[in-house]
């Protein structure tokens, strides 16, 4: 009798699991790319609120040569300081967007460029590469949960130089 009861209790969960349709990964990929473009536009406009809104509350940001920043408040302070720096700009472009089979997590491989003025006011632009991990939040919006980047290696005749 006990096994019959367990079977009857488990049956709805099994049936519900079987009846769900798999996510449309291409639709999710396009949705993330649209979010990424909106995020890049907000950053280009130095709109702090819109820029920071693209990270999850529990996000981790890993800038080059710095300790990881945890949470939206720490990220907001970092981004605000960057936006206030003379000559600062950032751009990026997705090279690859891969959505996981569940349709709830994804990762992006991108290239980026940061421009900032040195202490003498001369602008310097650094090319970089990045990996961004995206998560679909309970509200259905894709947001960045992990963001890491570093400088692109200098090249000689099309090959990276030894570091």
Q: pLDDT tens, 92-119? A: 999 999 999 999 999 999 999 999 999 8
pLDDT at 1 over 90: no
Q: Which helix (H) or strand (E) holds 93?
A: strand 89-99
**How far is the CA of 150 from the CAs of 63, 66, 129, 130, in angstroms?**
7, 11, 6, 7
What value does the mean pLDDT take over residues 63-69? 96
Q: pLDDT tens, 20-44? A: 789 999 999 999 999 999 999 999 9
Residues 6+ apart with CB under 8 A from 119: none
Residues 6+ apart with CB under 8 A from 147: 55, 59, 60, 61, 62, 130, 132, 133
Quote the CA–CA distance of 119 and 130 in Å, as a whole number: 26
Instruction: Identify the pLDDT of residue 153.
Output: 77
Quote the CA–CA distance of 139 and 148 in Å, as a whole number: 24
What value does the mean pLDDT take over residues 9-14? 50
Give the CA count within 13 Å in the CB-facing half-sphere of 17.
6
Cα dihedral sign for 51, 59, 30, 152?
positive
How much of the chain exceeds pLDDT 70, in percent?
Answer: 82
């Amino acid at each position: 009798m006990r096994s019959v009861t367990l079977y009857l209790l488990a049956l709805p969960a099994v049936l519900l699991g079987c009846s769900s349709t798999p996510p449309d990964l291409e639709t999710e990929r396009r949705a993330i790319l649209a979010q990424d473009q909106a995020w890049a536009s907000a950053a280009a406009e130095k709109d702090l609120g819109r820029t920071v809104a693209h990270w999850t509350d529990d996000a981790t940001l890993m800038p080059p040569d710095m300790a990881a920043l945890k949470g939206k408040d720490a990220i907001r302070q970092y981004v605000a300081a960057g936006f206030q720096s003379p000559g600062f700009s950032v751009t990026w472009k997705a090279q690859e967007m891969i959505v996981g089979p569940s349709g709830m997590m994804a990762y992006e491989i991108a290239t980026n460029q940061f421009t900032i003025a040195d202490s003498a006011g001369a602008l310097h632009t650094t090319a970089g590469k990045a990996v961004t991990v995206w998560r679909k939040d309970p509200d259905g919006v894709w947001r960045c949960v992990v963001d890491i980047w570093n400088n692109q290696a200098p090249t000689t005749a099309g090959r990276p130089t030894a570091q």
